[in-house]
Amino acid sequence: MREINVKEEAQNLYERMVSLRREFHAHPELSLREFETAERIERELDKLGIAHERVGETGVMGVIRGTGEGTSGRVVALRADMDALPIEEKTGAVYASLNTGCMHACGHDSHVTSLLGAAEILKRHEKDFTGEIRLCFQQGEEIGAGARIWAKSGALDGVYRVLGIHTAPDIEVGHIGLHVGTTFATVDKFTIEVQGVPAHAASPEEGVDALYIASQIVVNLQATVSRRTSPTEPVLMNIGTMQAGTSYNIVASGAVIEGTTRCINNEARARVRETMETIAKSTATAFGGSVTIKWQDFADPVINPEANVKEVSIFAENVLGTGAVVDRPMSMMGDDFCEFLKKVPGVYAFTGTGNVNRPETRLVHHNDHFEIDEAGMVSAAALYAKSALEWLK
């Protein structure tokens, strides 16, 4: 295979990627409802002459088959997630979301664009390799639903390596973040419904106050981390919503609490679930109520094998220069890319989208002012293309 300057080719696509990314940004769609996004991706693939098929309802897989000879003939996969979040955008950007209450606040607009950029480069060089590149535009990442559809569909069968890339505001643009081992935590969502008994506010002893019980549960559950977990073990619990009651003068008959837990392995995850259930149930029982607890398993940990991180580090430094790769320590975020890694050896990498001179690009994901330095897409597109070409050798 002849040497291809993917960095330069990605750089030449910069303007195109910026305008495409802004178009995706203006038209965000929620998880598993990415209908327009999927069609837009398909139109771009059509323009490039790349065959595609749907995976699930809204996932899109583009397939580039090499027409050259003399390389391994392997199959490699590149993954970009494509969904947005239920957030009202406050950036004030000219290309801000046109869909009220929905925003690309996790950078997935740029993931899709970077992969389309890489697709253009790879299609252009299809004569230089044998084998197959699967471009995985994955739906439903934010609710831990899409990657399972891909794993079940057979789209990942026979794949030699997979690469996923995510934006990172904490990494300076032009750099790639990698980490050996556990990179992201497990993700669970829990919903606790508290059942009480309504009564007149003047006769609380006749009722069971679900609002009071829910409040106690919110406080008591904090002990899961502070009293029931070793201080040296990362466990996270966040309660994000609590709804209760119908009127100021009625003892609330129901309450609902929602939150998420994050752990670094599945053993800790099981222990945390059990502790929380014990606390919630006993708190409710103490005041005459009861609870129903529902768990939704969003993601296993994302674990990068050392050997594959080494490979991708070399590719990244080769393309972006010595010193371009930084360690990105484990975080308690999560990603259902774990489903890809369960089937295929590969790497979850980060592209720096932070710029010290632009504070808005340093904001954490899911912030309503979230913004990226779009030059991070050049590094991502180059790394996608380089990794595919190297793995196909």
Q: Which residues bind Zn ion (CB under 5 A)?
A: 106
Q: What is the side-by-side strand order in the sheet with 254-262? A: 236-244, 254-262, 187-195, 290-299
Taking the complex as a whole, the smallest distance from the CB of residue 263 to Zn ion amounts, in Å, to: 18
Q: Indicate the residue among 75 and 105 with the shorter CB distance to Zn ion.
A: 105
Taking the complex as a whole, the smallest distance from the CB of residue 358 to Zn ion amounts, in Å, to: 20
Q: Indicate the residue among 215 and 367 with the shorter CB distance to Zn ion.
A: 367
Q: Indicate the residue among 106 and 344 with the shorter CB distance to Zn ion.
A: 106
Q: Are 270 and 292 in contact (CB under 8 A)?
A: no
Q: Indicate the residue among 106 and 377 with the shorter CB distance to Zn ion.
A: 106
Taking the complex as a whole, the smallest distance from the CB of residue 167 to Zn ion amounts, in Å, to: 7
What are the structure tokens assigned to 346, written together?
Answer: 């590969």
Q: What is the side-by-side strand order in the sheet with 176-178? A: 51-55, 59-65, 132-138, 75-81, 161-172, 346-354, 176-178, 325-327
Q: Are 190 and 260 in contact (CB under 8 A)?
A: yes
By beta carbon distance, the residue nearest Zn ion is 106
Taking the complex as a whole, the smallest distance from the CB of residue 173 to Zn ion amounts, in Å, to: 17
Q: Give which of 147, 187, 170 is closest to 350, Cα–Cα.
A: 170
The residues pairing with 51 across neighbouring beta strands, listed in sequence order, are 63
Q: Are 287 and 240 in contact (CB under 8 A)?
A: no
Q: Indicate the residue among 106 and 156 with the shorter CB distance to Zn ion.
A: 106
Taking the complex as a whole, the smallest distance from the CB of residue 335 to Zn ion amounts, in Å, to: 7
| Strand 75-81 to 132-138 pairing | parallel
Q: Indicate the residue among 224 and 261 with the shorter CB distance to Zn ion.
A: 261
Taking the complex as a whole, the smallest distance from the CB of residue 27 to Zn ion amounts, in Å, to: 17
Question: Torsions phi, psi of 12, nearest 5?
Answer: -65, -20
Taking the complex as a whole, the smallest distance from the CB of residue 80 to Zn ion amounts, in Å, to: 10
Taking the complex as a whole, the smallest distance from the CB of residue 82 to Zn ion amounts, in Å, to: 10
Q: Indicate the residue among 61 and 106 with the shorter CB distance to Zn ion.
A: 106
Taking the complex as a whole, the smallest distance from the CB of residue 159 to Zn ion amounts, in Å, to: 22
Q: Indicate the residue among 213 and 341 with the shorter CB distance to Zn ion.
A: 341
Q: Indicate the residue among 128 and 142 with the shorter CB distance to Zn ion.
A: 142
Q: Are 311 and 76 in contact (CB under 8 A)?
A: no
Q: Give which of 205, 226, 221, 61 is closest to 135, Cα–Cα.
A: 61
Residue at token pair 């252009």: 124
Q: Indicate the residue among 80 and 106 with the shorter CB distance to Zn ion.
A: 106
Q: Give which of 168, 160, 20 is closest to 76, Cα–Cα.
A: 160
Taking the complex as a whole, the smallest distance from the CB of residue 30 to Zn ion amounts, in Å, to: 12
